[in-house]
Amino acid sequence: MCYAGAKIEKGKVITMTDINMYDVVILGSGPAGLTAALYTARANKKTLVLGGNRLGGQMAGIPTLENYPGWAGSGMELAEFMKKQCETFGAEVKFVSAKSIDGDAAGGFSVLGDDGVRYVGKTVIIATGASPRKLDIEGARELMGRGVSYCATCDGFFYSYKDVIVMGGGNSALNDALYLADLAKSVKIIYRKGAFTRAEAVLRERVAQRENIECLFNTDLVKIAAIPDSPDGRLVVTTTDGTEIETDGLFVAIGHEANTDYLTEDIKRDAMGRLAPSELPTGIFVAGDVHSDIKMQIATAVGTGCTAGMDAIAYLNKI
pLDDT, one tens digit per residue, over 238-252 is 999 999 999 999 999
What does the radius of gyration of the chain's CA atoms come to, in whole angstroms? 22
Residue 215 is a catalytic residue: no
How many whole angstroms separate alpha carbon 316 and alpha carbon 278? 18
Say yes or no: do domains 6-131+256-318 and 148-252 share a fold.
yes
- Residues 177-224: tens digit of each pLDDT: 999 999 999 999 999 999 999 899 999 999 999 999 999 999 999 999
- For the four alpha carbons of 258, 31, 93 and 122, in that order, the dihedral sign comes to negative
pLDDT of residue 8: 32
CATH of domain 148-252: 3.50.50.60
Eight-state DSSP code of residue 307: H
- Is 151 marked active-site? yes
How much is the pLDDT for 45? 98
Given the residues 154, 182, 261, 293, the one annotated as active site = 154
CB atoms within 10 A of CB 300: 18
Catalytic residue of the set 18, 102, 114, 151: 151
**102 flagged as catalytic:** no
Q: Mind listing the pLDDT tens digit for each residue in 106-130?
A: 889 999 999 999 999 999 999 999 9
CA distance 270 to 163: 37
Nearest to 137 by CA among 225, 257, 230, 233: 225
CA 209 to chain centre: 30
d(C-alpha 152, C-alpha 290), whole Å: 22
First to last CA, the chain: 8
Reduced to 3 DSSP states, what percent helix, strand and coil does the chain have, rounded to the nearest 5? 30, 30, 45
6-131+256-318 CATH choice from 3.50.50.60, 3.40.50.2300, 3.20.20.140, 3.40.640.10:
3.50.50.60
Q: In 10 A of CB 198, how many CB atoms?
A: 15
User: In this predicted structure, which of 16-20, 56-60, 103-107, 148-152 has the lowest mean pLDDT?
Assistant: 16-20
Q: Report if pTM > 0.75.
A: yes
Instruction: Please calculate the CA angle 165-171-172 and round it to the nearest 5 degrees.
Output: 55
Task: Give me the amino acid identity at 148.
Answer: V
Could you tell me the residue ranges of all domains in the chain? 6-131+256-318, 148-252
From start to end of 85-173, where are the E strands? 92-94, 98-104, 108-113, 118-126, 130-132, 148-149, 163-167
pLDDT at 11 over 50: no
Are residues 272 and 131 in contact, defined by beta-carbon separation less than 8 angstroms?
Answer: no
Residues 118-149 as b/e (b if ≥16 CB within 10 A, e otherwise) read bbbbbbbbbbbbbbbeebeeebbeebbeebbb
